[in-house]
Amino acid sequence: MNGTGVTEVPLLEVRDLVVTYPVRRGLVGALRRRPRRSVHAVEGVSLRVRTGEMLALVGESGCGKTTTAQAIFGMVPTVSGSIAFRGQELTSMSPRAMRLVRRKMQLVYQDPYESLDPRFRVRTTIAEPLRIHRIGGSKQDRARKVADALARAELQPPELYAERYPHELSGGQRQRAAIAASLILGPELLVADEPVSMLDVSVRAGILSLIDDLRKRDDVGVLMITHDLSTAAHFADRIAVMYLGRIVEEGPANDVVRDPRHPYTKALLSVVPKRDPRRRTAPQILVGETPNPIDVPTGCRFHPRCPVAEDRCRTIDPALRPVEADGGGHAAACVLVGGEAPVRTMTGDVAGEG
Amino acid sequence: MSRILIDPGMVDAPPKRTRGSWIRDVLRERPSAAVGAALLGVFVLIAIFAPLLEPYGIHEQVGPVFGPPSSRHWLGMDDGGIDMVSLLIEGTRISLTVGFAAALVATFIGGGVGIVAGYFGGWTDTILMRITDYFLVVPDVPLMIVVAAIWGPSLFHIIVVIGILLWTTTARIIRAQVKSVRERVYVKRARSLGAGNVRIIFRHVLPQVAPLMIANVVLAIAVAIFDETALAFLGLGDPTSTSWGTIIEHAFLRTAMSRGAWWAIVPPGICVALVVMGCYLLGQAIEDALNPRLRVAHLSVKTFRLRTLAGRGEEAV
Amino acid sequence: MSPPLLEIRDLHVWFDLPHHRELHAVQGLSLELEAGERMGLVGESGCGKTTAILAVMGLLPPTASVAGSVMLNGDDMLAGGEDSIRPHRWVDIAMVFQGAMNALNPVRTVASQIVEPMELHGIASGAAADRRAGELLELVGIGSEAGGRFPHEFSGGMRQRAAIAMALACGPKILLADEPTTALDVMIQAQILDLLVALTKDLGLTLVLVTHDLPVVAQVCDRAAVMYAGEIVESGPMDTLFHGPRHPYTRMLFAATPDLYGDEEVLSIPGSPPRLDESIQGCPFQPRCDRAFDRCETERPRLAAIDRGHRAACHLNDVAAVPK
């Protein structure tokens, strides 16, 4: 099914996405003529998800990963850039066309306790997408589709779970119900925003394996948003690390985790606690905290905290460059990677090549 | 295939809580709610069965003007010699009808404004809220007096006037609730799936907001009845109908006080007080039940208790 | 061998439920804490770990009843209820609550909130207290000048440091930290954990780290106790727990935690924890255990010594009883 994925149109392709929020000055600020500031939530993000592939978008809070996911679904306005699903541009689509595309893209939310309406039985919530899009045929057809979705989400026997209310289910079961509700329309792309961070450890693996199985068995493409590098390392095919609105490193999961090239990735990996007490690595703890996305540093956005920053890092804003000449899809945005680093401009053009 | 085995981890379902049992829980936990509900219930029954309960006709003179209470006329007679008990029973029907109707009008308008403002936000919200503010700021009673005076007395006008002034508080409360429900994840999910606004409002927002509206209606009834009584007392009510307010008004105008005919003035007042109290007790209890956080007392002088393990030895590890 | 600094013996906590029922939140917890060590208390939601340390601090609500003993330097703090705990609270043993960083008083300066416990417990007052507060702020890495600022001016990590400084105000020997880094980014988490380790080394502080995050405990603690359904099912040195666990829950919990470099499959634990408002027959973990046998259904295992410092509550360790 996905043998020669190289030339195939990717399931999801985001190019140079920019999302900014204006910061409200308020009346006093306007009177005092304070300059208008913006939150630079996403400043030029490009990523690609192929059929049957899981890309993990990893980063700390404020890095813009959730905003990227929201932009993909049109929940926040995109300032510039393109978001294409199977080659169709989403940012300029009519609402009617969007509704059709939306059936193929589903979002799984972080909070299993909130993503189900407490007043609806599970079967009602799962059948809702069918009702909204007015598909699904007769009542029996719908019931059967609901049962199928429940079975795919491993809630067996489906009839038992269909009749329950959310408060009668555990956190893991609720998340599976939410996943079933996403599956009923037969999506091709699943975006999971921290799908297990609110669940107990003993339950997480099941949910993540479920998502992984959907990917392998049904060729669903998955974009997983997470702050947990261990989860990403374990389940994802590719990892993209975000910092302050940009992707600073991306590549096959194994490569990024075992051979990180960007100083931020290296530091992040070193401070992730390992479960084996014998493997206590010397953590490279960065000084200070991630700056506010309102005040993004000039030049390389990481340079104030970078342990190996050089003078030129204050003025050069590096673009993602392949780390090895042979590609392999591993790239990092650092002057120390891959030769003379080209500079990014705000329009996404890469200037100063060579 | 996923490695998780069959998940028999069905959380043992807590006892099924249907809508009915929720009300029973409220009544059981808070005796004040039961008292309020009982009071209200009694008056509602009286209002419904009024014609059957009235011992004498309300236009039938059965004794002298301001006749005192006797064994046949427990509360005596009014300024027209009409039996007070019958008048009170008739008044129950009118006062309660006006109260309920006005409260419903207010809740519909207030609920509607609150939902629209809270859900759509932006300019809609701003404009609606400024209108609400205007009505909030205008003094109720003088406006009611002016409108009733201009528009003329009739039950219908009274209901509308009270309703128009009552909706503002409801609007604010509902708007706040709608704003918070709108941000809930399951609503966002429905929107991202492509559900239309109407669908979301009716299926997701309204059920969450309905209990609050119910609590509000109950409290609004109290205010509406009080307002009607006040208006009638001031002579702006419908003179052809018999409400508690008109009873008091007639008695007052015919100098019942100086004649010592307390039975013509006090009983209707007590009725108003009882109904209002009943509404408040019930309404407060429903509000508290909806907002469990109000109930918890964090600051407590009492601390945890000690227990010995005598007799539990075999359980101790 | 010096006696342990803190010894919890057979701690039970019950919470009143409506209709004359009870929730048996802590079911016979026993633990020893040596001076200067870093002990982890690990468990998932509902296992009773927070309730247990609140019981040790005497901070349970009136709906709770407590049995057992908590010995601090030979004194049973629990024996006299609130009266016997109060002299020790904050002065000998202190706690950083879950979400403490969000519970700072927004209308008072950070320094004043550190001074407050000092004055209440008669440790210091006036200029001496201010000076000490400044020292504490330096110690936790905020800096004494920041003391005049308000909590909302601090980031999450800094507020957590302030909460730690508040807990240390009266110079306690034992610090109980409940999920101190759960809401924080991994880099800030590393900073806070680094701080806690430094405090144990520099101040001779004894730390109990309560969390559901196993890797955090693996990195920071020397020893750990694993809790399930209100009791400790295994305790021992960190290394032993990972490389030689003797309770299936411990083993499965580690197996359910993805590792950055590990390639082994990550496995869920099927089922869910038992209800604590009903009495439990046999081993509480038995319904979910992959190695349970008949004795596990009828007899509740006791916490028994496997080795020096290593204990587990599992029938499988009783070699004679396990069927072939």
Give residue-wise pLDDT tens across range A33-51: 777 788 889 999 999 999 9
Asked if A271 reaches chain C (Cβ–Cβ under 8 Å), the answer is yes
Domain ranges of chain A: 12-104+187-351
Q: Residue B24: pLDDT above 80?
A: no
Neighbours of B147 (CB within 10 A): 18
**One-character DSSP codes across chain B:** --S-------PPPPPP--HHHHHHHHHHH-HHHHHHHHHHHHHHHHHHTHHHH-SS-TT-B-SSTTPPP-SSSTT-B-TTSBBHHHHHHHHHHHHHHHHHHHHHHHHHHHHHHHHHHHHH-HHHHHHHHHHHHHHHHS-HHHHHHHHHHHH---HHHHHHHHHHHHHHHHHHHHHHHHHHHHTSHHHHHHHHHT--HHHHIIIIIHHHHHHHHHHHHHHHHHHHHHHHHHHHHTT-S-TTS--HHHHHHHHHHTTTTTTT-GGGTHHHHHHHHHHHHHHHHHHHHHHHHH-GGGT-----S---EE---TT-GGG--
Q: How far apart are CA C271 and CA B6, in angstroms?
A: 8
* Contact status, residue A189 vs residue A49, Cβ threshold 8 Å: yes
Q: Which residues of A touch B9 (CB under 8 A)?
A: 170, 172-173
Q: What is the CATH number of domain A12-104+187-351?
A: 3.40.50.300
Q: How many domains does chain B contain in total?
A: 1
Radius of gyration of chain C (CA): 21
Asked if C264 reaches chain B (Cβ–Cβ under 8 Å), the answer is no
Given this model, what pLDDT does residue A2 score?
A: 44
Closest Cα of chain B to A248: distance in Å? 29
Given this model, what pLDDT does residue C39 score?
A: 96
Radius of gyration of chain B (CA): 26
Does residue B312 fall inside a structural domain?
no
Alpha helices in C153-268 (DSSP H): 156-167, 186-203, 214-220, 238-243, 248-255
Q: Domain of B149? A: 47-57+73-292
For chain B, the chains sharing at least 3 beta-carbon pairs closer than 8 angstroms are A, C
Q: Do B305 and C64 touch (CB under 8 A)?
A: yes
* Contact status, residue C45 vs residue C98, Cβ threshold 8 Å: no
- In sequence order, the 6+-apart residues with CB closer than 8 A to the CB of C14 are B307, C22, C23, C24, C25, C64, C65, C66
Give the residue-averaged pLDDT of B28-50. 85
**One-character DSSP codes across C118-176:** HHHTTS--HHHHHHHHHHHHHHTTS-GGGGGS-GGGS-HHHHHHHHHHHHTTT--SEEE
Q: Which residues of B touch A75 (CB under 8 A)?
A: 188, 192
Q: Residue C238: pLDDT above 70?
A: yes
Does residue B311 fall inside a structural domain?
no
Please, which pLDDT band fits residue A91 given cuts at 50, 70 and 90? confident
Q: Which residues of A touch B211 (CB under 8 A)?
A: none
Give the residue-averaged pLDDT of A103-119. 89
Q: Which of A58-67, B132-141, C80-89 has the lowest mean pLDDT?
A: B132-141
Does residue B174 fall inside a structural domain?
yes
Q: What domains are defined for chain C?
A: 6-92+172-317 (3.40.50.300)
Please, which pLDDT band fits residue A146 given cuts at 50, 70 and 90? very high
Neighbours of B100 (CB within 10 A): 18
Q: Which residue in C28, C55, C62 is closest to B317 by CB distance?
A: C28
Q: Which residue in C157, C186, C220 is closest to A289 by CB distance?
A: C157
Give the residue-averaged pLDDT of C258-269. 87
Q: Residue B299: pLDDT above 60?
A: no
Given this model, what pLDDT does residue B116 score?
A: 94
Asked if A170 reaches chain B (Cβ–Cβ under 8 Å), the answer is yes
Given this model, what pLDDT does residue A193 score?
A: 93
Does residue B196 fall inside a structural domain?
yes
Asked if C267 reaches chain A (Cβ–Cβ under 8 Å), the answer is yes
Q: Residue C148: pLDDT above 80?
A: yes
Task: State the first-to-last Cα distance of chain C, in angstroms, to the nearest integer.
Answer: 39
Q: Which residue in B4, B195, B204 is closest to A209 by CB distance?
A: B4
Structure tokens at C216: 């955090």
Instruction: Write out residues 191-230 of A within 8 Å (CB-CB) of B.
Output: 205-206, 209-210, 212-213
Q: Do A114 and B6 touch (CB under 8 A)?
A: no
Q: Could you give the dihedral angle defined by the CA atoms of residues C92, C97, C103 and C104, in that order, rounded to the nearest 10 degrees? A: 30
Asked if A340 reaches chain B (Cβ–Cβ under 8 Å), the answer is no
Given this model, what pLDDT does residue B111 score?
A: 92
Residue A133 dihedral angles phi and psi, to the nearest 5°: -90, 5
Asked if A135 reaches chain C (Cβ–Cβ under 8 Å), the answer is no
Q: Do B306 and C14 touch (CB under 8 A)?
A: no
Residue C233 dihedral angles phi and psi, to the nearest 5°: -100, -25
**One-character DSSP codes across B33-44:** HHHHHHHHHHHH
Asked if B188 reaches chain A (Cβ–Cβ under 8 Å), the answer is yes
Give the residue-averaged pLDDT of B227-235. 86
Asked if C258 reaches chain A (Cβ–Cβ under 8 Å), the answer is yes
Give the residue-averaged pLDDT of C212-236. 95
Neighbours of C183 (CB within 10 A): 15
Interface test mutation site (partner B, options C66, C280, C285, C314, max chain B beta carbons within 10 A): C66
More confident site: B270 or B61: B270
Please, which pLDDT band fits residue A353 given cuts at 50, 70 and 90? very low
Radius of gyration of chain A (CA): 22
What percent of chain A has pLDDT above 90?
A: 49
Interface test mutation site (partner B, options C8, C268, C285, max chain B beta carbons within 10 A): C268
Q: Which residues of B touch C60 (CB under 8 A)?
A: 303-304
Please, which pLDDT band fits residue B2 given cuts at 50, 70 and 90? very low
CATH number where B100 lies: 1.10.3720.10
Give the residue-averaged pLDDT of C293-313. 92
Q: Do B317 and C303 touch (CB under 8 A)?
A: yes
Q: Residue A169: pLDDT above 80?
A: yes
Structure tokens at A44: 């030029």
Q: Which residue in C243, C260, C267 is closest to A272 by CB distance?
A: C260
Q: Residue A140: pLDDT above 50?
A: yes
- C46-68 confidence digits (pLDDT tens): 899 999 999 999 999 888 999 99
Q: Residue C209: pLDDT above 90?
A: yes
Q: How far apart are CA A208 and CA A195, in angstroms?
A: 8
Q: Which residues of C touch A267 (CB under 8 A)?
A: 187
Asked if C219 reaches chain A (Cβ–Cβ under 8 Å), the answer is yes
Structure tokens at B98: 């006006």
Residue B99 dihedral angles phi and psi, to the nearest 5°: -60, -50
Q: Residue B314: pLDDT above 80?
A: no
Give the residue-averaged pLDDT of B227-236. 85
Q: Which residue of B has its CA nearest to C60?
A: B304
Q: Which residue in C65, C268, C302 is closest to B304 by CB distance?
A: C65
Q: Which of B6-20, B136-150, B183-197 has the lowest mean pLDDT?
A: B6-20
Residue A278 dihedral angles phi and psi, to the nearest 5°: -80, -15
* Contact status, residue A303 vs residue A334, Cβ threshold 8 Å: no
Q: Residue B23: pLDDT above 70?
A: no
Given this model, what pLDDT does residue A6 score?
A: 55
More confident site: B163 or B58: B163
Please, which pLDDT band fits residue B195 given cuts at 50, 70 and 90? confident
Q: Which residues of A touch C253 (CB under 8 A)?
A: 201-202
Closest Cα of chain B to C145: distance in Å? 33
Q: Residue C190: pLDDT above 80?
A: yes
Q: Which residue in A61, A274, A280 is closest to C260 by CB distance?
A: A274
Q: Which residue in A208, A268, A276 is closest to C186 by CB distance?
A: A268
Q: Which residues of A touch C212 (CB under 8 A)?
A: 200-201
The pTM is what?
0.84
Q: Do A205 and B192 touch (CB under 8 A)?
A: no
Q: How far apart are CA C29 and CA C21, in angstroms?
A: 21
**One-character DSSP codes across A156-170:** SSHHHHHT--GGGS-
Q: Which residues of A touch C216 (CB under 8 A)?
A: 273
Q: Which of A242-246, A348-352, C4-8 has the lowest mean pLDDT?
A: A348-352
Q: State the ipTM, two decimals.
A: 0.89
Q: Which residues of B touch C81 (CB under 8 A)?
A: 303-306
Q: Residue B222: pLDDT above 50?
A: yes
Interface test mutation site (partner B, options A114, A126, A134, A213, max chain B beta carbons within 10 A): A114
Given this model, what pLDDT does residue C24 score?
A: 94
Q: Residue B185: pLDDT above 90?
A: no
Asked if B301 reaches chain A (Cβ–Cβ under 8 Å), the answer is no
Asked if C292 reaches chain B (Cβ–Cβ under 8 Å), the answer is no
Given this model, what pLDDT does residue B26 score?
A: 65
- B77-102 confidence digits (pLDDT tens): 887 788 888 888 888 998 999 899 99
Q: Could you give the dihedral angle defined by the CA atoms of residues A160, A164, A166 and A169, in that order, rounded to the nearest 10 degrees? A: -40
Please, which pLDDT band fits residue B117 given cuts at 50, 70 and 90? very high
Please, which pLDDT band fits residue C299 given cuts at 50, 70 and 90? very high
Asked if C255 reaches chain B (Cβ–Cβ under 8 Å), the answer is no
Task: Kindly report the average pLDDT of chain B as a whole number.
Answer: 80
Q: Which amino acid is at C261?
A: Y
Please, which pLDDT band fits residue C232 given cuts at 50, 70 and 90? very high
| Residue in C109, C66, C111, C72 with CA at minimum distance from that of residue C90 | C72
Task: Kindly report the average pLDDT of chain A as a whole number.
Answer: 87
Q: How far apart are CA A206 and CA A209, in angstroms?
A: 5
Let me know if B122 is exposed, middle or buried by CB neighbors in 10 A (0-12, 13-18, 19+).
Answer: exposed
Q: Residue B241: pLDDT above 80?
A: yes
Asked if C216 reaches chain A (Cβ–Cβ under 8 Å), the answer is yes
Please, which pLDDT band fits residue C1 given cuts at 50, 70 and 90? low
Strand partners of residue C16? C22
CA C125 to chain centroid, in Å, comes to 31
Structure tokens at B99: 């109260």
Q: How far apart are CA A204 and CA C258, in angstroms?
A: 10
Given this model, what pLDDT does residue A340 score?
A: 52
Asked if C187 reaches chain A (Cβ–Cβ under 8 Å), the answer is yes
Q: Do A75 and B188 touch (CB under 8 A)?
A: yes
Q: Residue C134: pLDDT above 90?
A: yes
Q: Do A172 and B190 touch (CB under 8 A)?
A: no
Given this model, what pLDDT does residue B4 score?
A: 33
Q: How far apart are CA C6 and CA C33, in angstroms?
A: 5
Closest Cα of chain A to C195: distance in Å? 11
